[in-house]
Amino acid sequence: MAVRAVRGAVQLERDEAGHMDEQVGALLTAIIERNALTADDLISIWFTATPDLHSDFPAAAARKLGIVDVPLICAQELDIEGAMPRVVRVLAHIESERSRADIAHVYLGAAAALRKDIAQ
């Protein structure tokens, strides 16, 4: 079994904890479903949030989904002028039989504009 990395992102409409939980939860669920993963396939997950998000830790959404024994960490994204606001990004390390080319990276809603090169 190979170690692979899965990327994803979602743009929030507003900086509210409940909204963050909902949107990050949807992002994680899509990553898990589109890559046919189970909780045992998850090695670790990195979350970054743009500096304009303060309401909660994105990793809290993972815990609410039942991802409780996987190491999680949150960090702040670089504050780049002109960057898309209110974005949470995910980098999940997984174990998978899929090739790198077959990994489904997930960019939801407006965040799809961040990676136009990845078919959704």
pLDDT above 90 coverage of the chain, percent: 90
Residue 38 lies in a domain: yes
Check residues 1 and 55 and name the one with the higher pLDDT: 55
Number of domains observed in the structure of the chain:
1
Q: What count of other Cβ atoms lies within 10 Å of the Cβ of residue 72?
A: 19
Task: Report the amino acid identity of residue 64.
Answer: K
- The alpha carbon torsion through 29, 35, 38, 40 (nearest 10 deg) reads -120
Range of 28's domain? 2-115
Average pLDDT over residues 95-100: 95
Q: What is the CATH number of the domain that holds 111?
A: 3.30.1330.40
Residue 60 lies in a domain: yes
pLDDT of residue 9: 98
Average pLDDT over residues 97-110: 95
Average pLDDT over residues 37-54: 97
Q: Say how far apart CA 102 and CA 90 lie, in whole Å.
A: 18
User: Taken in order 2, 109, 111, 79, is the CA torsion positive or negative?
Assistant: negative
pLDDT of residue 8: 97
Residue 120 lies in a domain: no
Q: Say how far apart CA 92 and CA 39 lie, in whole Å.
A: 12
Mean pLDDT score of the chain, rounded to an integer? 95
pLDDT score of 119 more than 60 = no
66 sits in the region (left: phi over 0; alpha: psi -120 to 50; else beta) called left
Residue 84 lies in a domain: yes
Residue 107 lies in a domain: yes
Place of tokens 């504009």: 113
Residue 67 lies in a domain: yes
